[in-house]
């Protein structure tokens, strides 16, 4: 007898494998996609192991096997992710499946009757009861789920017997043609290559040579970090990447290119198609499901050799993978935060590279502190270019001389409490008088961040979340930025009825209002998630006006595309560099530095030598602000790594966040306290020396979408071993290597 351990699409107990009997004559192998009974439901599952015996008493039979299976390397990656991210078996494996299978429900499996065999065979009374029941049933309801619901679990052996005799036919009501070709190597081909290589400098060619030599070899270290300092948005050195890609394709291997934003994916695909034509394919979350299914099949069959996409593209079904390129490897968009498994595509790419024997090339002008530390420890090969020309040095010095940090505390001492300092207004005025464009950055949308009654101190807060509501004047709403709850603007305090509500703080809306007041003739636009539909692939008229350069002043958040054309901008301003400084995370300073560095990168794109930059802050000595303005990553890294070592934070330790949320405060508080004590006791009982539990604390925000949230952090060299054996019920969230 043969038994299969299956990860099922159950919705609960996700970290458990369930044992099923493999009926005689059924061909099942590890990685197979199977249909199994689960309670009164019929669900999909993935086979993770096969055994000749089992301790389970009378396991249920596998109902059906689909014509698809995960390959060995895909299984290896799934198992690593399950072990690393503490995720469920099926929810992790589904990342490797066809997009159409991810959304399939059990009801798509219908049970049909073979009328010819009904006439030839004899049946028991119980079997005839089932057959007559199916004949009378609406065809749309002839599903495994419906049968088990009406007859109970005891009917399964009888159904299976009818299936084996050919009387019943298990059929998928949605036609699915899954490609399961196994391609070891693509045909070698000569791609447009010389025109790229000939344009590279000697130092650029050396980088191309070193990375290319690692492709297709068995050398031990195949992970590279390219500190792309002189390529603000990854474009100046694009020839390096294209040459490496060409070398990979010429060796008969395929490439995955990851970028954090969809608009970057589209632009990169346009450039790649100039050289690689139809071999290039886009793969990201905004592609319609049916189209994504077709692309997935094409990629799996080897039709496309260059896959470009967002974090989901790291799971592109390529067998002969030779190279993974990760642009802006530090970007938080690579981290899946909403659903389990909460993976980081960069880390998954590194592991996939190790399993597939592929080269992983990470690129960033502001590398993740953990990755850069790994490079200094020789765990990752560090690649960098020295300053290339005297001209570039001179331009850099000129940019620095035209950049100034303004201490907003001095403005307050002068009695200036407005949003803009005198120097920023002066710089903006000078640019407008010269008919130059201006770009102002403020990473906070809305008009005000806090509304409070001056009489009774009542704060206008969200009814669902433990946060103040933002004022949005353009829509005349109080808006919660967490759950979207909104109220019409009002003047009278809901608590004391006094007409004494004041608004504090700032956002992009307020900035636009103030600019329009000071410069009424200026054409002012906003680029944030309120004014631009970031999820809509179609460009609206408002957005097109900005892209065409029909503005005088553009005020935006980090939603401004990284490859936004600023060649004609003569003035840059950071309205408040401090936004985000008080977020409770060990990565706050790093995220602030990376964001400010991105803004400063725009100034390098400006072709006007007279371009001026003003950075406003209430903390002018902050390491993130000073280092970003100086464009000095190493200055930032030295101070930040010392702080991380002192506070025992990554890369000197690992962190797992365990959060519990519940509508009832007492239940939430009690659960987190019990979990903290349980883990503490387990560590003491097992005498684990290098892992500890940080005392429970409130989540941020404490109440979110009507649920209270408490969290504990498990820190150490391998915190997973403390919680591997714990069964987490509904309400628990496990986040390995959190970025918040």
pLDDT tens profile 656-686: 999 999 999 999 999 999 999 999 999 999 9
Please report, for the chain, the start and end positions of each structural domain, with discontinuous segments joined by +. 2-172, 194-387, 392-444+510-645, 446-506, 654-736
The residue among 546, 575, 549 whose CA lies nearest residue 435 is 549
List of residues 6+ apart from 699 with CB closer than 8 A = 659, 661, 709, 710, 711
Which residues of the chain have a pLDDT value below 50? 105-108, 173-178, 181-186, 193-194, 232-234
Here the contacts of 641-644 (C-beta below 8 Å, separation 24 or greater) are 641/369, 641/373, 643/589, 644/369, 644/586
- Rounded to 5°, angle at Cα 556 from 554 and 558: 145
- Give dist(CA 627, CA 145) in Å, integer: 61
Output phi, psi for 213, to 5 deg. -65, -30
Handedness of CA 211, 217, 218, 219 (dihedral sign): negative
pLDDT of residue 617: 93
Local structure of residue 313 (DSSP, 8 states):
G
pLDDT of residue 185: 46
Query: What's the CATH number for 2-172?
Result: 3.40.1440.60
| Contact of 271 with 306, CB cutoff 8 Å | no
Indicate the CATH number of 654-736 among 3.40.50.720, 3.40.50.11540, 3.10.180.10, 3.30.70.600: 3.30.70.600
Query: What's the CATH number for 194-387?
Result: 3.40.50.300
Residues 678-718 pLDDT 10s: 999 999 999 998 999 999 999 989 999 999 999 999 999 99
pLDDT of residue 673: 97
Do 194-387 and 392-444+510-645 have matching folds? yes
| Contact of 395 with 113, CB cutoff 8 Å | no
For residue 125, the SS3 value is helix
pLDDT of residue 142: 62
pLDDT of residue 294: 86
List of residues 6+ apart from 339 with CB closer than 8 A = 91
pLDDT of residue 277: 85
C-alpha pair distances (Å), 405 with each of 156, 574, 603: 73, 9, 15
Query: Is domain 392-444+510-645 classified as CATH 3.90.79.10?
Result: no
List of residues 6+ apart from 655 with CB closer than 8 A = 649, 713, 714, 715, 719, 736, 737, 738
| Contact of 128 with 81, CB cutoff 8 Å | no
């Amino acid at each position: 007898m043969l038994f299969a351990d299956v990860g099922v699409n159950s919705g609960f107990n996700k970290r458990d494998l369930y044992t099923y009997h493999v009926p005689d004559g059924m061909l099942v192998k590890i990685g197979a996609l199977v249909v199994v009974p689960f309670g009164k439901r019929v669900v999909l599952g993935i086979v993770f192991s096969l055994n000749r015996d089992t301790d389970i008493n009378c396991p249920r039979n596998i109902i059906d096997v689909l014509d698809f299976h995960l390959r060995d390397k895909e299984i290896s990656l799934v198992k690593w992710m399950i072990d690393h991210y503490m995720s469920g078996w099926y929810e992790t494996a589904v990342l490797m499946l066809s997009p159409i299978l991810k959304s399939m429900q059990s009801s798509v499996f219908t049970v049909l009757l073979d009328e010819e065999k009904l006439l030839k065979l004899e049946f028991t009374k119980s079997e005839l009861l089932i057959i007559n029941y199916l004949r009378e049933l609406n065809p749309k309801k002839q599903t495994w789920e419906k049968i088990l619901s009406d007859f109970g679990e005891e009917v399964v052996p009888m159904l299976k017997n009818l299936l084996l005799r050919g009387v019943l036919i298990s059929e998928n009501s949605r036609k699915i043609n899954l490609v399961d070709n196994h391609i070891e190597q693509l045909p070698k081909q000569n791609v447009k290559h010389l025109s790229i290589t000939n344009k590279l400098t000697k130092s650029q060619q050396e980088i191309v040579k070193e990375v290319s030599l690692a492709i297709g070899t068995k050398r031990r270290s195949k992970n590279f970090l390219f500190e792309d300092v002189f390529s603000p948005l990854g474009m100046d050195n694009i020839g390096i990447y294209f040459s490496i890609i060409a070398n990979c394709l010429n060796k008969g291997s395929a490439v995955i290119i990851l970028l954090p934003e969809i608009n970057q994916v589209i632009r990169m695909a346009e450039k790649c198609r100039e050289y690689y034509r139809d071999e290039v394919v886009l793969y990201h979350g905004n592609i319609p499901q049916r189209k994504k299914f077709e692309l997935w099949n094409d990629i799996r069959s080897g039709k496309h050799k260059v896959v470009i996409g967002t974090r989901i593209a790291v799971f592109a079904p390529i067998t002969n993978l030779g190279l993974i390129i990760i642009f802006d490897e530090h970007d938080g968009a690579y981290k899946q935060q909403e659903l389990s498994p909460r993976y980081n595509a960069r880390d998954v790419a590194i592991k996939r590279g190790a399993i597939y024997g592929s080269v992983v090339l990470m690129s960033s002008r502001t590398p993740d502190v953990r990755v850069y530390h790994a490079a200094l420890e020789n765990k990752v090969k560090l690649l960098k270019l020295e300053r290339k020309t005297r001209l570039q040095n001179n331009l850099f010095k000129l940019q620095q001389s035209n950049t100034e940090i303004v201490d907003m505390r001095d403005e307050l001492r002068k009695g200036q409490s407005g949003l803009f300092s005198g120097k920023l207004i002066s710089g903006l005025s000078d640019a407008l008088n010269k008919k130059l464009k201006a770009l102002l950055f403020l990473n906070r949308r809305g008009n005000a961040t806090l509304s409070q009654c001056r009489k009774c101190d009542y704060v206008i807060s969200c009814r669902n979340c433990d946060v103040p509501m933002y004022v949005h004047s353009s829509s005349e709403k109080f808006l919660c930025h967490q759950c979207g709850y909104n109220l019409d603007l009002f003047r009278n305090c809901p608590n004391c009825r006094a007409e004494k509500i004041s608004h504090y703080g700032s956002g992009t809306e307020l900035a636009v209002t103030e600019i329009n007041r000071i410069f009424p003739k200026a054409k002012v636009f906003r680029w944030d998630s309120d004014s631009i539909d970031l999820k809509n692939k179609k460009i609206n008229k408002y957005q097109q006006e900005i892209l065409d350069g029909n503005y005088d002043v553009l005020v935006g958040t980090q939603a401004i595309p990284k490859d936004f054309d600023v060649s004609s901008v003569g003035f840059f301003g950071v309205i408040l560099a401090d936004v985000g400084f008080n977020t409770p995370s060990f990565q706050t300073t790093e995220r602030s530095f990376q964001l400010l560095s991105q803004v400063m990168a725009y100034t390098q794109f400006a072709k006007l030598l007279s371009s001026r930059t003003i950075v406003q802050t209430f903390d002018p000595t902050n390491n993130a602000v000073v280092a970003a303005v100086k464009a000095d990553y190493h200055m930032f890294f030295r101070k930040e790594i010392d702080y991380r070592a002192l506070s025992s934070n990554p890369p000197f330790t690992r962190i797992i966040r365990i959060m519990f949320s519940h509508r009832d405060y007492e239940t939430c508080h009690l659960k987190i306290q019990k979990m903290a004590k349980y883990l503490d006791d387990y560590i003491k009982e097992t005498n684990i020396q290098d892992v500890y539990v940080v005392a429970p604390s409130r989540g941020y925000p404490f109440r979110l979408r009507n649920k209270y949230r408490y969290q504990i952090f498990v820190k150490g060299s391998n915190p997973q071993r403390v919680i591997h054996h714990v069964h987490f019920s509904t309400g628990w969230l496990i986040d390995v290597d959190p970025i918040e």
